[in-house]
Amino acid sequence: MARSREQPHPPNRPARGHRRPLAQELKAGRTLGDVLEERLAPLQRGPLRPGAFSSRLHAERVATVLGIALGVTFTTCFLTGLISHFAQHPLDIGFLSMPASPAGLYRVTQGVHVASGIASIPLLAAKLWAVYPRLFAFPPVENLVHAFERALIPFLTGGAIFMLFTGLLNTARWYPWGFNFTVAHYWTAWIVIGALIVHIGAKLAVAGPALRRPRRERSPEPESDGDGISRRGLFVAAGTAVAAVTLTTVGQTFRPLKDLARLAPRRPDAGPQGIPVNKSAVGAQVVDAARDADWALEVGGRVARPLRLSLAQLGELPQREAHLPIACVEGWSAAARWRGVAVGTLLEMAGAEPGAEVVVHSLQQRGSYRSSRLNVAHARHPDTLLALQINGETLHVDHGYPARLIAPNRPGVQQTKWVARLEVV
Amino acid sequence: MSPRRAPGGRAFWILGAVGTAVIVFGLAGLLRNAAQTVPSSWATFFVGGLLVSDFLVLPGVALAGVVVSRIVPRAPRATVQGALLVSAALILIAIPVLTGRGRNPNNPSILPDSDYAGELAIVLAIVWGVTALLLLVRTRARRTSDPRSPTSR
């Protein structure tokens, strides 16, 4: 803290007991901070006293560098999160609708979403430590502008903690709260990004000059040695922590690192037929319906010739094979060789119009993901399959036996399993 | 850090207005979807996260810092602190898999590892192994540059 303590009492301080109203003080040209400092002086103890925080990591530069890193990871999280949100809740704006290629795009954006969220955890921890003394800044506010900035800080810190906490727990499917994760995570993201915009505006004046200064002059007060970790040391440690948490988790989607993913909630090869599952047949309560020998696929809605095809009849139609990833919103992904009937083939057989969208209905009776919608690009893509096989084997019931949807560039929750009906709309 | 420096300027006001509007948009979205966002539960976790970090975790870090500065000699202290930070980050991100609360008997592909504690122990052992190696190498380097020579510091 740079404030001088030699003169605790400003010369123009009025005598005790002769306090003027706050409005008069401010009119007389004193700042809110000066008045508060004087009036709240008796409270300035414990963490509020000057020099209460001795760590040399509570420096402007530490806060700035970590803040920039967090700005990058949070913006990445926000943008990739929006992609995932609008893939599942499409805006009816043509050019913004999710394209069907490249096939692995969503796998990358959602993998990056979860990875940059996890990478943010050590960064946020270090950042909160760096700025911790500011929670106890004295006087609490300097003027009304500063009061406005400070009042919005809890939205930033509380929101950032909320996003990382809920996101991390969701990857491990742990829900200790009463709200719907996706809805709360989505709307809170707007709060955090709004607070980040305010914060960047407030810090531009501070961070800009600090970073523009030549390297030699950036830390005018040289670090005292021996007092533990240095600022630079903290950056190295934080970078190492980011690398460590990334290397031990990112293998859940980035297959070359799968053997390092010791702390990941998923392994890309752990599951029936070597592919993870998000919802099992038992969990979806479809075991009997899926194994029913009378199962048949219906193709209906706005079609010229409604279809009803048994599993055997589906197997006799031209089969197509596609190598596609299943990429879950929770950040894991795994590619497989899928084989089945192209949805486009079925639409043509039923005489659907080329510009039609399709709602894919599951046998599932309950659950928010029991149906999904194929936009035109997905509905007509040759690799969009009603898959009957995975890697040369009949689908395991947990993978959607007798038939499941698999399409390129699509969140896993929209790859509807145990398909009962294609409804052309 | 100059406490007297308060924000201001055109960029501050423009970004302040835009950001506030975005915050209001987010809050309004939460309230419009109250049936799903359950504001009471949301607020508990939002405020709870702040309170736990500000008045439990961060004071804990301060306390840990004091303890480390008392018991760890000066020379290796910085490296030990760095290793502690890395360890804390790994433990933090492993908490959800360690609790195993997401386990589901009908879906063994969630949390497929039966012993995440063991995995974490191995990862931490590697972190501290590397730390020890680093300290050893540094001590050697200092010895070979002869600490008793008057020209070395």
pLDDT digits 0-9 by tens, B83-136:
999 999 999 999 999 999 999 999 999 999 989 999 999 999 999 999 999 999
Long-range contact set of residues A317-325: C-beta below 8 Å, sequence gap at least 24? A317/A341, A317/A345, A317/A346, A318/A342, A318/A345, A319/A388, A320/A345, A320/A382, A320/A383, A320/A385, A322/A383, A322/A385, A322/A406, A322/A408, A324/A103, A324/A383, A324/A406, A324/A407, A324/A408, A325/A103, A325/A104, A325/A107
Residue B56 · residue A196 · CB < 8 Å: no
| CA gap B147, B143 in Å, rounded | 6
Q: Which amino acid is at A185?
A: H
Our CA-based measurement puts residue B110 at a distance from the nearest CA of chain A, in whole angstroms, of 6
Contact A263/B33, CB-based, under 8 Å? Answer: no
| pLDDT 10s digits, A389-418 | 999 999 999 999 999 999 999 999 999 999
Among A57, A162, A179, the strongest candidate for a mutation testing the B interface, having the largest count of B CBs within 10 A, is A179
Angle between helix B10-32 and A144-171 (nearest 10): 50
- A367 — alpha (psi -120 to 50), left (phi > 0) or beta? left
Contact B99/A152, CB-based, under 8 Å? Answer: no
Report the range of poorest mean pLDDT among A28-32, A340-344, B135-139: A28-32
Contact A236/B82, CB-based, under 8 Å? Answer: yes
- Quick one: tokens of A304? 């010229």
| CA gap A256, A178 in Å, rounded | 37
pLDDT (average), residues A96-117: 94
Residue A253 · residue A327 · CB < 8 Å: yes
Our CA-based measurement puts residue A65 at a distance from the nearest CA of chain B, in whole angstroms, of 14
Our CA-based measurement puts residue A209 at a distance from the nearest CA of chain B, in whole angstroms, of 13
Over chain B, what is the mean pLDDT? 90
- Quick one: tokens of A26? 């401010």
Check residue A4 and give its pLDDT.
Answer: 42
* Rg, Å, chain A Cα set: 29
Contact A145/B12, CB-based, under 8 Å? Answer: yes
- DSSP-assigned states of every residue in A66-108: HHHHHHHHHHHHHHHHHHHHHHHS--S-GGGSPPS-STTHHHH
Chain A, nearest residue to B16 by Cα: A198
Chain A, nearest residue to B23 by Cα: A191
ipTM of the complex: 0.92
Q: Which of A237, A265, A398 sits opposite B102 (nearest CB)?
A: A265
pLDDT (average), residues A299-319: 97
| CA gap B1, B54 in Å, rounded | 21
Which residue, A77, A185, A90, is CA-closest to B30?
A185
Residue A214 · residue A178 · CB < 8 Å: no
- DSSP-assigned states of every residue in A370-400: SEEEE-HHHHH-TT-EEEEEETTEEPPGGGT
Check residue B5 and give its pLDDT.
Answer: 55
Q: Which amino acid is at A40?
A: L
- Quick one: tokens of A314? 């589906």
Q: Which residues of A touch B92 (CB under 8 A)?
A: 121-122, 125
Tell me: pLDDT of A210 over 80: no
Check residue A223 and give its pLDDT.
Answer: 61
Tell me: pLDDT of A2 over 50: no
Q: Which residues of B touch A136 (CB under 8 A)?
A: none
**Residues of chain B above pLDDT 90, percent:** 79
Contact A206/B5, CB-based, under 8 Å? Answer: yes
Tell me: pLDDT of A93 over 80: no
pTM of the model: 0.92
Among A60, A187, A192, the strongest candidate for a mutation testing the B interface, having the largest count of B CBs within 10 A, is A187
Angle between helix A181-212 and A60-88 (nearest 10): 140
pLDDT (average), residues A244-270: 96
Which residue, A78, A88, A103, is CA-closest to A326?
A103
Residue B85 · residue A237 · CB < 8 Å: yes
Chain B, nearest residue to A192 by Cα: B23
Tell me: pLDDT of A24 over 80: yes
Contact A264/B8, CB-based, under 8 Å? Answer: no
Q: Which of A142, A262, A398 sits opposite B122 (nearest CB)?
A: A262
Residue A351 phi, psi dihedral angles, 5° rounding: 75, 40
